[in-house]
Structure 1
Amino acid sequence: MQMQSSPAGDMLQGLHLELAQRAEQGLLRQRRMLQGMQGAHVVINGKRLLSFCSNDYLGLASHPALISAMSEAAQQYGAGSGASHLVTGHQTAHEVLEQRLQQFMAVPAVLLFSTGYMANLGIITALCGRDDEIFADKLNHASLNDAAVLSRASLKRYAHNDITSLERLLAQSSARRKLVVADAVFSMDGDIAPVPALLALCERYDAYLMLDDAHGFGVLGAKGRGILEHFNLSSPRIIYMATLGKAAGSAGAFVAAEQVVIDYLLQSARSYIYTTASPAPVAAAALAGVDIISSEPQRRQDLQQLITYLQQHCQLQRWQLLPSNTAIQPIIIGSNDEALRVSKHLQEHGILVAAIRPPTVPKGTARLRISLSAQHTEQDVAHLLNALHEIEVA
């Protein structure tokens, strides 16, 4: 008996309907094409715009030192690594970068990953399983949530930055391993996790603390060492992840932890083992970025001055600037349609600010995510604020 197959168009029609629904709800995502280098001023689809969309917080993505380092490394190592780290893909540039990061962060050991997403997947799925429990902040990055689900551990989510909520969950747990997971700087709100209090709970309830410092590394701390330097913290219970594609100006990520944790990840983290190593020139550029982070504190000082300037001069009537002492300065608009309208209006004024909508942020909290860079000037920020004030009262 021949089985009757469904028409090929059934799934395709369903996809068309879902996309149409997203468009009606103002949730359809679209790409912009950047022509040329990243920077405070960019060219998008042939139009020059003042950009507040990049995570290039220190302005290193187009820095001559990183470009030179990548170019020279390409001549030495070639364009691609050709294999995974555990076969023949681990090149001298990767090893040098790991050693530099270990020294810079003053940690026992470091392991490179190709992206922050892959690092989070690798860490959490390697360290946690069915008999374990993960405690995650409700506003954590999607990669942390996905990793927790893939680990098959029991997942408990606590209210954002709510220490009382977290302690209640930890006190009820009898899991073999307990892992508290949090963004260090929350990517859509720009606020900072109460890391000392999180660590204190981990010590009290025999848990470990994993921090995703993608938006803090290079920016926070007197020397740019991120959230741990910001709070002057060090503990064998901390598993620290940071990316190299934001403040460091290149790409990739790393995890810093006790040597035994790094050794275990090298043996067990599937997103490390089963993927081709990132190209050595990328690692060389990241190394140059880390050197600038270490040697040029003025970039962080300039960025902090811009943050202060924006907060002092942003006077909104209908919208709300969230409290944030980081380069991420979100303005809550509310509805998806209005957030898109304001973003479009700003672009017509020559200013690029992304409209962030659900599911990236909770329903009803669509926002403009202003991302400041050390490459911006006070005049750039003033131009943005003037345009925002004009749109709000129009």
Structure 2
Amino acid sequence: MTGAEIHAAQAAGALTWLHEAAAARAKAGLSRTLTPRAPRSTVLDLASNDYLGLSADPRVLAAAVAAVREWGAGATGSRLVTGTTELHAELETALADLVGVPSALVFSSGFMANLAAVAALGGPDCLVVSDAGNHASLVDGCRLSRSPVAVTPHGDLAAADRALGGRVVPRALVVIDAIGSADGMLLPLAAWHALARRHGALLVVDDAHGLGVRGNGAGSVAEAGLAGEDDVVLTLTLSKALGSQGGAVLGAPAVIRHLVETARSFIFDTGLNPAAAGAALAAVRILAADMAAPAGSGLADSVLARAADLAAAAGVPATDSAVVPVLIGAAAQAHALSVALLERGFRVGCFRPPSVPVGTARLRLTARSTLTAADLERFRTALASTRAVAVGGSAPEEGQRA
């Protein structure tokens, strides 16, 4: 064997574990591929998080274009150097006003916002009580915080109470998703806040799926009457109901000041690009104006009504949000069903481990305020016939939720 052949064999050997891991994922039905979509398609989208249909709203698009012309394509640096424009400051004020919180700080993504909120507010002297259903960004924030972490069963207030009662460090942080990204269900936020306050803990609430959907659009925290509470820290994404890109942390001025000065995912990350900031600002203004509409006629009411209709079409119980899960069980069957539906003209989400626990793979459907009765009837028919072939006709048990 020549020297070159030896070097090539050594290089290939360094990747052996990657090939083995890929084979194991394939065997378990967990392989993932990127599927680029075209700008326009006849496929009915029941997978995106564009709950209010604002990502293609002409007003939002015009604002994005105007921001690029005014500020350029990029933020040009981190927020503490050159990446904070007047546009960013205007967006932060508008977000805070929309949800009724004193201060806001915008990040390049919702993931970065969650990393900042948990990692910067935690620390070795702070117990973090993290709900087992939390999004991966919150989980990673816990890991980066260097805090002692207690992971409690999803929605289990009693378990969280026990964890807080047994803490041996001076501070505590309770971290929850207001609405589960995989199950669409809303936690009782007032009860979680009362628990955190009783133990002198900060409550961090990720309301990514509540903004624009709950509380007449102001979100789950506002709906629960907790907006503006000093011991509540709110995180949001700008990429779901607002149809743009980015994330934000909102809370008391002292919280925002601490993040500006200590959060690594803020200090060392390039600021949100102007197009996304401009689009998000336009979407916030649209939502704020819509919230003044008569009760029952606004965007938030519309998307919840369409979500209930979508759940009925899928033959599953309604949830508390735009997210509608259809539990399948086996990962391979869930994936096969999603592929079959795409071939029939319906794009649906497919959540498999590690996004959900083993044995609970599901279709994750999402409603938009723009769905029509005809859309939903076509989907109902397609799902019934496709499911019978892909997963042997199995149906969820009465009252079953993912």
Fold equivalence (TM over 0.5): yes
Tell me if structure 2 keeps the 8 A contact 1:322–1:331. no
Deviation (angstroms), 1:12: 1.1
CA distance in 2, matches of 1:31, 1:393: 27
Deviation (angstroms), 1:313: 4.3
1:365 aligns with 2:368: no
Q: 2:334 aligns with which of 321, 339, 355?
A: 339
Tell me if structure 1 keeps the 8 A contact 2:126–2:147. yes
The residue type paired with residue 31 of structure 1 is: L
1:231 aligns with 2:224: yes
| Alpha carbons of structure 1 residues 322 and 168: separation in structure 2 relative to 1, 3 Å | farther
SS in 1 for 2:65: helix
**Equivalent residue number for residue 242 of structure 1:** 236
**Equivalent residue number for residue 351 of structure 1:** 346
1:278 aligns with 2:262: no
1:98 aligns with 2:98: no
Deviation (angstroms), 1:80: 1.1
Deviation (angstroms), 1:281: 2.1
1:259 aligns with 2:262: no
CA distance in 1, matches of 2:78, 2:64: 20
Deviation (angstroms), 1:219: 1.3
Note the alpha carbon deviations across 1:51-95, whole angstroms, 9 max, x for none: 111000000001101110011111111111111111121111101
Q: 1:381 aligns with which of 360, 376, 382?
A: 376
Q: 1:140 aligns with which of 134, 137, 141?
A: 134
1:19 aligns with 2:9: no
The share of aligned pairs that are identical, in percent, is 36
Deviation (angstroms), 1:265: 0.6
CA distance in 2, matches of 1:336, 1:311: 21
CA distance in 2, matches of 1:128, 1:245: 26
The residue type paired with residue 225 of structure 2 is: N
The residue type paired with residue 115 of structure 2 is: L
Deviation (angstroms), 1:213: 0.7
**Equivalent residue number for residue 318 of structure 1:** none
Structure 2, gaps ≥5 residues long: 1-5, 292-297, 390-402
The residue type paired with residue 380 of structure 2 is: L
**Equivalent residue number for residue 8 of structure 1:** 11
The residue type paired with residue 34 of structure 1 is: R
Tell me if structure 2 keeps the 8 A contact 1:190–1:324. yes
**Equivalent residue number for residue 3 of structure 2:** none
SS in 2 for 1:363: coil
CA distance in 1, matches of 2:364, 2:317: 10
Q: 2:320 aligns with which of 309, 325, 343?
A: 325
Deviation (angstroms), 1:354: 2.0
Tell me if structure 2 keeps the 8 A contact 1:136–1:155. yes
Deviation (angstroms), 1:310: 2.8
Number of equivalences: 376
CA distance in 2, matches of 1:232, 1:240: 13
Structure 1, gaps ≥5 residues long: 37-41, 316-320
**Equivalent residue number for residue 157 of structure 1:** 151
1:309 aligns with 2:300: no
CA distance in 2, matches of 1:73, 1:244: 16
SS in 2 for 1:117: helix
Q: 2:180 aligns with which of 183, 186, 192?
A: 186
Tell me if structure 2 keeps the 8 A contact 1:141–1:183. yes
Deviation (angstroms), 1:368: 0.3
CA distance in 1, matches of 2:173, 2:143: 13
CA distance in 2, matches of 1:292, 1:378: 25
Deviation (angstroms), 1:228: 1.4
**Equivalent residue number for residue 189 of structure 2:** 195
SS in 2 for 1:278: coil
Tell me if structure 2 keeps the 8 A contact 1:343–1:353. yes
Deviation (angstroms), 1:323: 4.9
| Alpha carbons of structure 1 residues 372 and 352: separation in structure 2 relative to 1, 3 Å | same
Q: Return 234-243 or 305-314, whichever deviates more.
A: 305-314
Q: Return 355-364 or 13-22, whichever deviates more.
A: 13-22
CA distance in 2, matches of 1:314, 1:391: 12
TM-score scaled by structure 1? 0.92
1:31 aligns with 2:34: yes
TM-score scaled by structure 2? 0.90
